Amino acid sequence: MSSKTTLLVLPLLLQTSLAFPWVASAPGVDSALLHSSRHRRQADLNCAFNPNHENAAPLSSQFPYNNARFPFPGNGRGGYLVPAPGDTAHEFRAPRAGIDIRGPCPGLNAAANHGFLARDGIVTYGELVDAQQNMYNVGFDLANVLAIAGVGLDGDLLSGKVSLGCDATSRTKSPLSLLASQPGLNGHNKFEADASLTRGDFFTTNNFRLNTTLFTMMMETCQGNCGRQELSVYREERWQQSVAENGNFFFGPGSLLLYGAASFLYELFPGEGGSPDEATMMSFFSIDKAADGSYVENSGERAPPNWRPRVAPYSGSDVVREIVAMYIANPVLFGGNVGQNNFIGLNSGAAIRDGRLVDTAPSAILCLLFQALQSAIPATVGQAVNLPVNILNQITQLAPFATNIGCPSNPNDGGSGADIPILPDLGLPPLVIPSLPPLPLPLPDLPIRLPPLPPLLGPSRPGQGGGLLGGLFPRAN
């Protein structure tokens, strides 16, 4: 399967009645749950709505923070107070019921509650890049990749907008977009996935609201310190729990990104001089303690008192290191349930056999992550299979990275080596997609603009691949 074919076919499969590539007719699958999926999407008709949208609060000369002003990168140095004393524009404000959208990502929810993102939860690509730098000192490279993934997986690349939670397509969709709907970050098996840290699985409970039972379980495992080793153990515990309780559980290659998100708890949330202790987790996860010692949800995610972001930026190479280390410490199988507690391992090309990674080298895991990300964008294509050329160009601009670190490519696309398909081998007949009329021309350019940057794969820091993406994805040895 060519990389372009994978780009078109996989999103279609992800948007079927199943939220993952297993067949509805497989023995043991409760099809009633598929109807609940559709009903849950209908619930998005009640998505919070703000008739008077305001963009993220701007920076000022008095309160510059990291001075990240898209499309230009910030200073790359943290250590300042968030929010700054006297900066009322970035003070904590609880989200307004029925007006402000919040979703499954506590870090982004906190950024919106502090005004680094639009407080109503309808955010732009540029706001996502800036907020990560100004509030958390995420590196410019990683901030861009996460923004591309967020807008591409769950939003609209033409408008450059995404909802932090529920489906708000009427507010995120470009008038010229052919994408069917943008589910927001609540969209299942995109940014949100089964076996997350503090959100329930899609088919068993609410998949985007804080689950205090899961938060309690996480804190019991952390025992006062949510570091890499503790969260690696907890990630395995959540996998085991989902296998036992969720008959439609799916854990695909893209689920490796859950390990990257888990690293934020000990790399970003503690800030400068802090630790990933109970108080820090409670603040960023919107938790208070009741009189009996139990955890209860409060009014919203926020930075702890007198909090300062880490001094050194958290770069792409940093998060890749943490993904690999956390997964390898307690590896779990890739695949999915066909009925409760009936897990079937995934076979995916040369990368995964019987649910196990064939090669656990960092470069091999990088290739798997890249192809999972590339294949899942854009969020939905609806009936439009002939995607606008400018969308495909935006997606495939990451392709040079794959060659740079030695990822196998498709010989039919002018590369060499064997293509690694993302879809599992289910023995199904080939998918036939009917031809559709061509798109109207001319097509608009994407609103995403980057300043002059180093070449994608040009010289960069010693020991790493070159350029913007080379710094994110180190070369294979």
**pLDDT over threshold 90, residue 415:** no
What number is the average pLDDT over the span 314-329? 94
Which pLDDT score, from 0 to 100, does residue 425 have? 36
Whether residue 380 is contained in a domain is answered as yes
Confidence of residue 376 (pLDDT cuts 50, 70, 90): low
Looking at per-residue pLDDT, the higher value among 354 and 39 belongs to 354
**pLDDT over threshold 50, residue 3:** no
CA separation (Å) from 279 to 192, 234, 247, 265, 276? Answer: 25, 18, 35, 12, 8
Whether residue 387 is contained in a domain is answered as yes
**pLDDT over threshold 90, residue 24:** no
**pLDDT over threshold 70, residue 40:** no
**pLDDT over threshold 80, residue 226:** yes
**pLDDT over threshold 90, residue 237:** yes
pLDDT digits (tens, 9 = 90+) for 101-129: 999 999 999 999 999 999 999 999 999 99
CATH code of the domain in which 257 resides: 1.10.489.10
Which pLDDT score, from 0 to 100, does residue 61 have? 97
**pLDDT over threshold 70, residue 444:** no
Lowest mean per-residue pLDDT among 72-81, 245-254, 418-427: 418-427
**pLDDT over threshold 90, residue 437:** no
**pLDDT over threshold 80, residue 190:** no
Confidence of residue 46 (pLDDT cuts 50, 70, 90): confident
Confidence of residue 433 (pLDDT cuts 50, 70, 90): very low
What number is the average pLDDT over the span 39-64? 83
**Could you give the CA distance from residue 261 to residue 267 in angstroms, rounded to a whole number?**
10
How many H helices and E strands in the chain? 15, 9
Confidence of residue 471 (pLDDT cuts 50, 70, 90): very low
Which pLDDT score, from 0 to 100, does residue 188 have? 65
What number is the average pLDDT over the span 326-330? 96
**pLDDT over threshold 70, residue 11:** no
Which pLDDT score, from 0 to 100, does residue 354 have? 92
82 DSSP 8-state letter: B
Which pLDDT score, from 0 to 100, does residue 148 have? 85
What number is the average pLDDT over the span 123-136? 98
**pLDDT over threshold 60, residue 227:** yes
Whether residue 325 is contained in a domain is answered as yes
CA separation (Å) from 5 to 12, 84, 421, 433, 434? Answer: 11, 49, 10, 11, 14
pLDDT exceeding 70 applies to what percent of the chain? 66
Confidence of residue 191 (pLDDT cuts 50, 70, 90): low
**pLDDT over threshold 60, residue 1:** no
Q: What is the CA radius of gyration of the chain?
A: 21
**Could you give the CA distance from residue 392 to residue 381 in angstroms, rounded to a whole number?**
12
Mean of all residue pLDDT scores within the chain: 76
Whether residue 193 is contained in a domain is answered as yes
Which pLDDT score, from 0 to 100, does residue 373 have? 67
Whether residue 477 is contained in a domain is answered as no
**Cβ atoms 460, 453 nearer than 8 A:** no
Whether residue 150 is contained in a domain is answered as yes
What number is the average pLDDT over the span 371-385? 48
Task: Give ∠ CA 187-261-200 in degrees, rounded to 5.
Answer: 50
Looking at per-residue pLDDT, the higher value among 429 and 127 belongs to 127
**377: which residues sit within 8 A by CB, 6+ positions away?**
7, 11, 148, 149, 152, 153, 157, 395
Determine phi and psi for 323, rounding to 5 degrees: -60, -50
**Cβ atoms 199, 109 nearer than 8 A:** no
Q: Which two tokens stand for residue 467?
A: 């350029």
**35: which residues sit within 8 A by CB, 6+ positions away?**
none
**pLDDT over threshold 60, residue 133:** yes
Confidence of residue 408 (pLDDT cuts 50, 70, 90): low
Lowest mean per-residue pLDDT among 39-48, 204-213, 336-345: 39-48
Looking at per-residue pLDDT, the higher value among 211 and 156 belongs to 211
Whether residue 436 is contained in a domain is answered as yes
Whether residue 276 is contained in a domain is answered as yes
What number is the average pLDDT over the span 308-333? 95
pTM of the model: 0.77
Confidence of residue 363 (pLDDT cuts 50, 70, 90): confident
Number of domains in the chain: 1
**Could you give the CA distance from residue 230 to residue 238 in angstroms, rounded to a whole number?**
12
* Structural domain range at position 61: 3-472
